[in-house]
Structure 1
Amino acid sequence: MTKPKPVERALAPGVSETAASQVFDELKRDLIRGRFAAGEKLAISALKAQYAVGLSPLREALNRLAAYGLLEQHNQRGFRVPPLSAGELEDIARLRVQLECMALTQAFQEGDAEWESQLLAAQHRLLRADKSPEQLEKWEQAHLQFHRTLLAPCGSHWLLRFIEQLHDQFDRYRRLAPGNPAIRARLDAQHGELVQLALERRIQDARWLLEEHIRLSWDVARGAC
């Protein structure tokens, strides 16, 4: 007699959505920081155990990550980490320059005193963040928050959304690339320079500096390809 297969217990819609959102956030973070190798096929059973989640919310999270561009879906079933491509990285970097410089101009025009204080606070947290290996994730979050704060007043939800997605795609390359202390020191200094230009509302100088900032990061990220 054939033993019946176990039936997955249905969760209340709110519970399932919460679980899917949690595993989406965790898996997204792990994909960006290179926990999975480029080109690696993800095993559903291993992911269920690793993230302590049921099949339905896991599949929802995987589908969302595929739509976001951090996973590739094959034959409507399997999921694979996208390969690394110098051409794709160039496309991402060039789009970052265009969209972030546009957002920066709008942020400088719309930003108020409250934004200035938030930007100074974000810079302070970034300066105090420890970049030692065991604390690197905290620095990465402070770095992300600085760039979010810099562009926040631009007034376009969709523009910020596209920029966030490009940042995540770009950071997958950058975090897999070998470190470059000389470029890293210059990038760190540019954060303070961007803040000073923001306080003085020197839009054109800030655009040039932000473009250089992205291109220097691109030089580092190329090492992953």
Structure 2
Amino acid sequence: MNQHLQPVISTASSRIYETLRRDLVGGRFAAGEKLAINALKEHYHVGLSPLREALNKLAAYGLLIQENQRGFRVPTLTRAELDDIASMRLELEGMAFERAIQHGDAVWEAELLAAAHRLKRADMSLEKDEEWETLHSQFHRTLVAPCGSVWLLRFIEQLHDQFDRYRRLGPKMPTVRQTLDDQHHQLVELALQRDTKAARALMDDHIHKSYQVALKRYEAHA
């Protein structure tokens, strides 16, 4: 391959990777659906090489299944998998939050307050779902950022994407969402107070409540 073309392909691959990742998590493609390469090229206006590179990365990440000689398929959804993902979130995200509270500095506190403020502003406009989802992810990422483990952060990011495939199956639930939004700000307050025990307990409850939402939506689609 021409070495001058490689950066262009890599840039295009990164762009289509992020777009496809967002669409897979958001439910644009049905669980179990086989992806047609030509249709993807046309829809996303992307060349074959960067598209295949992105699809391979998404398969390695777990958002696609690569079938020998038969392309790529969206993973199915199962109750057992949802339970497993939620269980791992409880362990890993809770542990990361505890570590973040222990190691976070003043810069982290400022970033956490800023992330919470942006999310609160988005909470006031529930129709902007994609904006809210982006800010929600950023908020949770900021909560655990100073945990001190790159691998732990990677695992949590992957679990969030897999979990959100279930959570975003159905329509908005304003009452439940308000409860979860209130907990976001309580998590910040406890983190700033360095109350590790109470913060961990609230994080566990937050994940459990989110799991109940995801479970109801899964059961409605099963």
Q: TM-score, normalised by structure 1?
A: 0.92
Verify the 8 A CA contact 1:178 1:224 in the aligned structure 2: no
Amino acid across the alignment from 1:95: M
Paired residue type of 1:30: D
**Residue type of the alignment partner of 1:150:** L
Which amino acid in structure 2 is aligned with residue 82 of structure 1?
P
Corresponding position of 1:65: 58
In the alignment, what sits opposite 2:112? 119
Identity among equivalent pairs (%): 61
Write the distance in 2 (CA, Å) between the matches of 1:221 and 1:71: 20
* Farther off after superposition, 74-83 or 138-147: 74-83
Structure 2 match to 1:132: 126
Choose which of 77, 81, 98 in structure 1 pairs with 2:74: 81
Alignment gaps of 5+ in structure 1: 1-8
What's the CA shift string for 1:196-220, capped at 9, x where partnerless? Answer: 1011100011101001100100000
1:89 counterpart letter in structure 2: L
Report the alpha carbon displacement of residue 70 of structure 1 after superposing the two structures with TM. 0.5
Show the counterpart of 2:11.
18
Higher mean alpha-carbon deviation, 124-133 vs 58-67, is at: 124-133
How many residues matched?
A: 217
Which residue matches 2:38?
Answer: 45
- Distance in 2 (CA, whole Å) between partners of 1:102 and 1:121 is 23
Check conservation: 1:177, 1:220, Cα contact below 8 A. Answer: no
Match of 2:210 in 1: 217
Q: How does 1:171-186 map to 2 (within 5 A)?
A: 171-186=164-179
Residue aligned with 2:81, SS: helix
Structure 2 unpaired stretches of 5+: none
1:187 is aligned to: 180
Question: How much has 1:27 moved relative to structure 2?
Answer: 0.5
Q: For residue 192 of structure 1, what is the amino acid of its counterpart?
A: H
Deviation at 1:181, TM superposition (A): 2.9
Larger radius of gyration: 1
Residue 78 of structure 1, CA deviation: 1.4
Structure-to-structure mapping, 1:133-172, within 5 angstroms = 133=127, 135-172=128-165
Calculate the aligned-residue CA RMSD, in Å.
1.7
Deviating above 6 A after TM superposition, structure 1's stretches of 4 or more consecutive aligned residues are none
Cα distance in 1 for partners of 2:69, 2:50 equals 16
Choose 201-210 or 181-190, whichever is displaced more: 181-190
The CA deviation at 1:184 is: 1.4
Correspondence 1:199 to 2:192:
yes
| CA distance in 2 between partners of 1:72 and 1:39 (Å) | 9
Distance 1:59 1:10 in 2: 18
Range with greater deviation from structure 2 (78-87 or 9-18): 9-18
